[in-house]
């Protein structure tokens, strides 16, 4: 799937999402003026909405969640897609502007809300935490579960992992079952079914890695692992 505008591409991504990539000249055709970076919020949302609309997704709701300036003076904004005020998990649109406020690049992933997702909700966030704890106790071997009171819950629309890629209203539970692990669990708001769950424990620290040197020899390196990135310690 591709947009009909040169410099604006739309491709299929995971879980039925659509990845949008927009070059500078497309952004200039939408907003030729510099954005006032002191009061950029509404202008960024308006520009992002116009990009997504031009890519073929009319009436998409976007919300600005953060923005910052880097050491080169470039400004970066991150937006998420919502539906009736509920975030769509996995959606994101980033817009980058230069130091003067001219848009340079936009990219991200959005999801179709057609057909309209059901917003029926029959279980509470407390019930969702109980369902999540039961899942962890029976499916992961974490038989000793600490109190669920401090687990974080948020309503989201979760894109199903298989066709027809429906958006399902879920309680998004960030669970801390013990003093070590962190799990992300999506509990159906209507029936308590565990839609998706994954271990999000960050195992940072020293590690070894394999790499090939300039002579083609395999070497073992001492590194520091920070999330999924390995930093070289050997001099």
pLDDT digit string, tens, across residues 182-232:
999 999 999 999 999 999 887 777 777 767 666 656 677 778 766 557 777
Same domain assignment for residues 158 and 68: no
Same domain assignment for residues 163 and 208: no
Here the CATH number for the domain that contains residue 187 is 3.10.450
DSSP state of 117: P
- The radius of gyration of the chain from alpha carbons, rounded to an integer in Å, stands at 21
pLDDT band at 2 (very low <50, low <70, confident <90, very high): very low
Structure tokens at 141: 């071997």
Which residue blocks in the chain are alpha helix, DSSP H? 24-30, 41-54, 125-139
Q: Is residue 185 part of a domain?
A: yes
Same domain assignment for residues 38 and 54: yes
Q: Is residue 3 part of a domain?
A: no
The boundaries of the domain holding residue 163 are: 125-199
Burial class (CB in 10 A: 0-12, 13-18, 19+), 170: buried
Same domain assignment for residues 132 and 167: yes
Same domain assignment for residues 144 and 98: no
- Tell me if 117 sits within 8 A of 157, measured CB to CB: yes
Please give the average per-residue pLDDT across 106-129, as a whole number: 95
Highest mean pLDDT of the ranges 16-30, 35-49, 173-187: 16-30
pLDDT digit string, tens, across residues 63-77:
999 999 999 999 999
**Which 3-state string (H, E, C) describes 138-194?**
HHCCCCCCCCCCCCEEEEEEEECCCCCCCEEEEEEEEECCCCCCCEEEEEECCCCCE
- Tell me if 133 sits within 8 A of 149, measured CB to CB: no
């Amino acid at each position: 799937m591709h947009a009909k505008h040169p410099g604006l591409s739309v491709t299929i991504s995971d879980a039925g999402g659509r990845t949008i990539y927009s070059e500078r000249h497309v952004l200039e055709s939408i907003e030729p003026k510099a954005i006032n970076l002191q009061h950029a919020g509404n202008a960024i949302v308006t520009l992002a909405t116009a990009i997504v609309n031009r890519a073929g997704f009319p009436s998409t709701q976007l919300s600005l969640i953060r923005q910052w300036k880097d050491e080169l003076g470039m400004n970066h904004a991150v937006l998420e897609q919502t539906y009736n005020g509920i975030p769509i998990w996995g959606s994101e649109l980033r817009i980058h502007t230069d130091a003067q406020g001219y848009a340079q690049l936009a990219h991200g992933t959005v999801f179709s809300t057609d057909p309209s997702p059901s917003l029926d909700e029959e279980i509470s966030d407390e019930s969702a935490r109980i369902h999540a704890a039961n899942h962890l106790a029976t499916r992961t071997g974490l038989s000793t579960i600490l109190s669920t009171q401090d687990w974080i819950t948020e309503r989201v629309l979760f894109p199903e992992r298989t066709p027809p890629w429906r958006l399902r209203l879920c309680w998004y539970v960030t669970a801390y079952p013990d003093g070590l692990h962190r799990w992300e669990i999506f509990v159906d708001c209507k029936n308590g079914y565990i839609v998706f769950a994954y271990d999000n424990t960050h195992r940072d620290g020293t590690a070894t890695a394999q790499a090939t040197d300039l002579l083609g020899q395999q070497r073992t390196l001492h590194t520091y692992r920070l999330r999924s990135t390995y930093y070289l310690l050997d001099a």
